[in-house]
Amino acid sequence: MSFQTPEKPTAKALAKGARAFVKDNLYYFKLYIKPLIVPIIVSGVMTDIFPAFIKGQMIQFIYMPILIFCALLQPYLTACFALSWHRAVLLGPKPEHAVSPFKLKPGEAGFILAFFVVGLIPLIISGVPMALTMGAAFVLHRPAIAGIAALPLMVLMIYSFILSMRMLFILPAKSVNASMTWREARQVSRGLVWKLFASAFFWNLLCVLALYACFAVIGVAAVVIYGMPNPSHPFNLSETILMFVLVKLPIIALGMYLTAFNVTILSRLYQWSLQNRPLVVADNKDNRS
């Protein structure tokens, strides 16, 4: 897809084009997910089903390390899929774009690292100060500290969110092994952050609400058929497996679909910026969003 026009694509056009691209390439969507299916299922089993086998204090020594490992594994698998899909959008969908999480090719580790760095930006810039502020208010028994710091922390959180969205533009470049610095990513993203947000937000929200509406229907049907669950009796193994199939797997599937949708929009905006503002990467004077 080419954007040889100085006018920015509209949010509506970007969202519509992204939905169409994913729909038209469902074969490659399944192909790129295929190498990730086993680790995704294993991760889900270890976090959702495995606790049904362990009781008492053993859960603290066995389950917590597993939970931490799976918490890192899941975004890693998402990064592998995002890398495949960036390539599909920018270079055309091909089988060789599939990324194996067990054997990264040269250059792919750079994308994975950048993916995690971008994700950590809000945590470092706003999460750490927020935790320190809340901790100080608790230790010193001064709740007013949290109240005084609320507005600056909110501003910091918004800034970190915008900065991380600007840094996202380095990912399409990394996916095709193009040379781009973090400073250049900010320049390429100039004026496109809100376009990216507006294009992706409403479809993401609609899909999530639709999924939870389905969960609500299933929940009501379960109550009607089986009655209210007893909070004092946790799910047994068969019920845990059923919940994993009916709840966790659809959430994972929707997450992968929305990743493809969002990556498509990001790659299109990156492509438009390079095609219509080729000198922006070399311009160090204007870093405004």
Q: What is the tens place of the pLDDT at every residue in 240-281?
A: 778 888 888 899 999 999 999 999 999 999 999 988 876 444
The share of the chain scoring above pLDDT 90, in percent, equals 47
Q: Which of 42-51, 93-102, 148-157, 257-266 has the lowest mean pLDDT?
A: 42-51
Domains in the chain, number:
1
Dihedral over alpha carbons 171, 173, 175, 176 (to 10 degrees): 170
Q: Is residue 202 part of a domain?
A: yes
Question: pTM for the whole thing?
Answer: 0.84
Q: How far apart are CA 58 and CA 49, in angstroms?
A: 15
Average model confidence (pLDDT) across the chain? 84
pLDDT of 76 above 50: yes
Q: Report, in this order, helix, strand and coil percent for the chain, each rounded to 5.
A: 80, 0, 20
* Separate counts of helices (H) and strands (E) for the chain: 12, 0
Please tell me the predicted confidence (pLDDT) of residue 143. 73
Q: Is residue 5 part of a domain?
A: no
The share of the chain scoring above pLDDT 70, in percent, equals 85
pLDDT of 97 above 90: yes
Q: Is residue 98 part of a domain?
A: yes
Specify the higher pLDDT residue, 48 or 278. 48
Q: Is residue 136 part of a domain?
A: yes
Please tell me the predicted confidence (pLDDT) of residue 53. 64
Q: Which two structure tokens, joined as six digits, stand for 62? A: 């066995």
* SS3 per-residue string spanning 237-259: HHHHHHHHHHHHHHHHHHHHHHH
CB-based contacts of 264: which residues, under 8 Å, 6+ apart? 17, 18, 21, 22, 85, 89
Specify the higher pLDDT residue, 228 or 108. 108
Q: Is residue 2 part of a domain?
A: no
Please tell me the predicted confidence (pLDDT) of residue 239. 72
Give the structural domain span for 132: 11-282
DSSP 188-255: HTTTTHHHHHHHHHHHHHHHHHHHHHHHHHHHHHHHHHH----TTS---HHHHHHHIIIIIHHHHHHH
CB-CB contact of 289 with 166 (8 Å): yes
Query: What length is written for the chain?
Result: 289
Q: Is residue 287 part of a domain?
A: no
Q: Is residue 27 part of a domain?
A: yes
Q: Is residue 237 part of a domain?
A: yes
Q: What is the tens place of the pLDDT at every residue in 214-234?
A: 989 888 887 777 666 666 666
